[in-house]
Amino acid sequence: MGVKGHSRSMEWLVMQAHDGQLPERHRAAVAAHLVDCAECRSYLGATRSVSAWLRSRESAPEFSPAFSEVWRGVASRLPASAGPLPWWGAWRWVKLGGWSFRPGWLAAVGLTAALLLLLVNPYGRLPLPQSHEASVAFVEASDYPVIVMMPAHPHEMTVIWLFEQGAPPVPPT
């Protein structure tokens, strides 16, 4: 069923139909409207004529230059030593999960995170909490006593060898 009466909105739809951009659900209505509307037919006629004229004109051989003519002008102005781009220039855009980014961005984020980690690093910078007193274990070895001090963190360990005077400090195997 066609839409009665001419309007700017209908011309917009006619334009989209001409460009092949009109959703399919509107096509039948626009086609029906064109049968009754002289104004929209006129607009479509002008649009088609301009389109055909532009395409015929731009494809005319007298307009288009030869490739050699274009390339001569381009090549003469290219940098003399067109070597590989520097490492930062060669880093291309990477697409991942709908996001485009450059690897350099990841490096910058990583560097920032590392700096932040250094600033707030508790190891060796901040005093140990009061509750973290070193635990001391006393190990009775067969020939000499050993005190093992285990500070707040599991990867730190201080071992103090106690031995009687004159006895050699032999580490355990």
Partner 1 sequence: MEPTDEELVEQVRNGETSAFRTLVERHYQKVFGVAMGMVRNRDDALDLTQEAFLHVHRSISGFRSSAKFSTWVYRIVTNLCLDHFRRVGRSPQTVELPPLLEDDAPPMDWPDPAAEPPDDAVHRSEVRRALDGAFAQLSAPHRAVMVLREVEGLSYEEIAEAMGCSVGTVMSRLYYARKRLQVLLASYGPGGAEGKQ
**Smaller CB separation from partner 1, 1 or 90:** 90
Is 113 a binding residue for partner 1 by CB under 8 A? The answer is: no
We find the least distance from the C-beta atom of residue 57 to partner 1, in angstroms, to be 8
Of 70, 109, 139, 162, the one binding partner 1 by CB under 8 A = 70
Is 45 a binding residue for partner 1 by CB under 8 A? The answer is: yes
The residues, any chain, with a CB within 8 Å of residue 55's CB and separated by 6 or more, are none
By CB under 8 A, name the binding residues for partner 1: 6-8, 11-12, 15-16, 19, 21, 38-39, 41-58, 63-65, 67, 69-71, 73-75, 77-78, 82-85, 89-95, 100
